[in-house]
Structure 1
């Protein structure tokens, strides 16, 4: 989008708006083309490149940003977010109706460099969207309330809509490596198929049947996973692996009780064996891409990773207090730092210990022990403690750019060096915007190249970038 000379730093209302049809270019504002130093922050901290307000983008004072992956039919949990599509950031903006619905939802395309709103397009009745663009489009599927059912593509450059009607009963959609994957059928009759293809022809590559099923209310957001080197279909108490290139079923297993799974690189799956009574964990099994059990533990401690990005398959996987080779399953080392100390519980079914790992960053594990109130950096190749520090500040790990890891809490964003534990920079939300409602500490951050970040909370999206000194 061409810049407007002479208006540097001025916010333009919708005076340049052209919203004659879906996909029309919509200029909400012309952000400052400089980067503002955020008052009180360290010299190493990124500055504010741009800021976009959800209310101004939508035209309703109560509008909020939402993650397109969650669709627009329901507002379960109200999770803010966006999809990074390179030069364009894709987000839903709508009004939470207070009844688990979103009013007047629109998909917006935001310039990742300037924050300018390039386009906005109505996006009602979407069940969900794929997390990766395919052929230059965000691919979504309509909710059951919309007839006829269709796959919907939003052009990333313009917002133009392409629809592919289908008579399938779609219950899951995923995208990866420029392919669309669709799961459809009657899950309550164990009559299920998975297809791979394109937006225009979702079965162009292959179609495979799976004799699996569950109840409709048990369909979850992780029913279909294609992002870890293999396909996974998770329906009720059944799990099936399949080849992404051919659709051929490679293995199946059962999930007893209230067990759950975690997919990790490369094409590994953890089965967390869990009793329904008290949700008590009894152990974990690690499966390879053939369904072979590589490793197993009988520990109740499990890890919850916000980021899982090992350098390669030479970096082990963590189960309870041990690290296991991703190729052979052999235990490489153990560390007491990986598990909290046993504690008294009010119920015999409660887990007395938990895992402490919150992120795998290349060959470093970031640990947080809320009971001991400390944070630890662990060498994933040796198990040796790199550093440990006491801290009362407990945040959510959001992003890692290969150099620093960024966390957030209700007060702001901060970055630490995972090799030393040193705080590199700290950005209070009130230093960015003195309106206390602008940020709520719950949001999504993406690390882009060259020290640039994009963060969104429900009401405000910002672009952070290095300051030229």
Structure 2
């Protein structure tokens, strides 16, 4: 996300201030429209992100806590920040969600790596599979030197890589399904439905290498190379949804991940699951600029009104895939058709418009106000406001969270609050454990289908009281 700051003109400041006052004045009270005050029924979820399976109607309680010493018998071993940082230690840690299992990584740190904020070099990595209900270690596998694993896990298989290595691990057992050495620098790996896709580049950074195959043979289907079209411009291949991308700015090349064929070139900023991609032309001040939704061949579908920076990284629990929510409208996920418009799904800040969405739970889109003092619930089907409540947080900077399909469970790093999606009331509240590191906020995460609190040196599993 581009966060380059720019100051608004005096006229725009006045206009936004007037708009905010008008909006707040019009929604000062809690509003109920076309919603029953009865308790919500259990939601049948087929689409979810940051989702836990047990419903938490009251304050959950800690069931187990793990630190590095509970996982590894290596002297000096530390918890690494999985899945992204497995090649170095930065003083803090995190496990990763692997479907029905939580996976943590440990290693012994050594000397500082060259470069500012490069962390400490680490030795061979051990991975540990943890039962999310009991905290018991189900397996431990020595996996050697790694760079990172892909955060999104499909079919219970971890897709990891080193500089010249592809490693596929079965999350349920820790079994190594595939371990391959490559003749190119690996930058990205995915595995889904038994298909392994790998993106990397040659040692001079001038040619992208992409393979498509299986866990036992990563280029069984095809292997292709893509020289940079601009002399001296390094390639940057990465995999997203059903595509792999290369290039930057106005020259992002979009390829079909199944065939390796070039689809189109443009200022591509984001790819949504469902096939739609978004082009984004930032304005000269660095704000969101112009956003257009495109089909998989690069043909324009619709222009996004009052565009915002693109990001779908919020808790979601819905019976069907929700619409694309960006700018100030909801767009049907596969066709791009505008379903409804409500400017409250975005926030206009000095650096540009960004998403106001905190989560989508059942049939409610939960958004925050510009100053963070209020939360509002919008009906997912038509966008009208159904409730508005003061935020329960004293720290209004930003929130992270999860959902149990009935509540949006948010934290600001100091406290945790569960917001009823149906009416915006606070179901329960609890303090967050201290992070133990001023650089890191205590976080609430969905792992193994359970609520887990993560601090710098340990993580704790919670369950219903």
**TM class, shorter-chain normalised?**
0.7 to 0.9
Which residue pairs with 1:100 in the alignment?
Answer: 119
Pairing partner for 2:326 from 306, 319, 327: 319
* TM-score, scaled relative to structure 1: 0.71
Query: Structure 1's 53 and 74: CA in aligned 2 closer, same or farther, altered over 3 A?
Result: closer
1: CA distance, partners of 2:276 / 2:315: 12
Pairing partner for 2:429 from 426, 443, 447: 426
| TM-aligned CA deviation for residue 182 of structure 1 | 0.2
2: CA distance, partners of 1:278 / 1:376: 30
* TM-score, scaled relative to structure 2: 0.72
* In the alignment, structure 1 residue 224 sits paired with structure 2 residue 239: yes
SS in structure 2 at match of 1:265: coil
| TM-aligned CA deviation for residue 441 of structure 1 | 3.1
Q: Please list, as runs of the form range in 1=range in 2, the aligned pairs for 1:9-408 lying within 5 A after superposition.
A: 44-58=58-72, 63-68=78-83, 70-75=84-89, 80-86=94-100, 88-94=101-107, 99-104=118-123, 105-131=125-151, 137-143=157-163, 149-156=164-171, 159=174, 161=176, 163-186=179-202, 191-210=207-226, 219=236, 223-226=238-241, 230-237=242-249, 238-244=251-257, 246-249=258-261, 251-255=263-267, 261-275=269-283, 278-297=285-304, 299-302=306-309, 304-307=311-314, 309=316, 311=318, 315-340=322-347, 350-351=351-352, 353-371=353-371, 373-391=373-391, 392-394=394-396, 395-408=398-411
2: CA distance, partners of 1:79 / 1:203: 34
Query: Structure 1's 61 and 376: CA in aligned 2 closer, same or farther, altered over 3 A?
Result: farther
1: CA distance, partners of 2:192 / 2:403: 21
| TM-aligned CA deviation for residue 418 of structure 1 | 1.9
2: CA distance, partners of 1:297 / 1:138: 35
Q: CA RMSD in A?
A: 3.6
Which residue pairs with 2:453 in the alignment?
Answer: 455
2: CA distance, partners of 1:423 / 1:51: 26
* In the alignment, structure 1 residue 409 sits paired with structure 2 residue 424: no
Deviation per residue, 1:78-137 (Å, 9 max, x gap): 563413242x31122346757423434432222222112234444453122234567865
Gaps of 5+ in 2: 1-55
| TM-aligned CA deviation for residue 372 of structure 1 | 5.6
User: Whose relative contact order is higher, 1 or 2, with alpha carbons under 8 Å and at least 6 apart?
Assistant: 2
My pick for the range that moved more, 362-371 or 117-126, is 117-126
Deviation per residue, 1:407-428 (Å, 9 max, x gap): 1222233321222212222232
| TM-aligned CA deviation for residue 212 of structure 1 | 5.0
Gaps of 5+ in 1: 1-41, 144-148
Which residue pairs with 1:25 in the alignment?
Answer: none
| TM-aligned CA deviation for residue 211 of structure 1 | 5.3
Query: Structure 1's 428 and 139: CA in aligned 2 closer, same or farther, altered over 3 A?
Result: same
My pick for the range that moved more, 458-467 or 327-336, is 327-336
Which residue pairs with 1:437 in the alignment?
Answer: 436
Is the 8 Å Cα contact of residues 315 and 403 (structure 2) preserved in structure 1?
A: no
2: CA distance, partners of 1:410 / 1:129: 25
Deviation per residue, 1:431-454 (Å, 9 max, x gap): xxxx773995343511655xx423
| TM-aligned CA deviation for residue 327 of structure 1 | 4.1
2: CA distance, partners of 1:43 / 1:325: 32
2: CA distance, partners of 1:428 / 1:116: 25
Is the 8 Å Cα contact of residues 333 and 383 (structure 1) preserved in structure 2?
A: yes
Query: Structure 1's 49 and 283: CA in aligned 2 closer, same or farther, altered over 3 A?
Result: same
2: CA distance, partners of 1:159 / 1:129: 14
Is the 8 Å Cα contact of residues 201 and 235 (structure 2) preserved in structure 1?
A: no
Query: Structure 1's 322 and 138: CA in aligned 2 closer, same or farther, altered over 3 A?
Result: closer
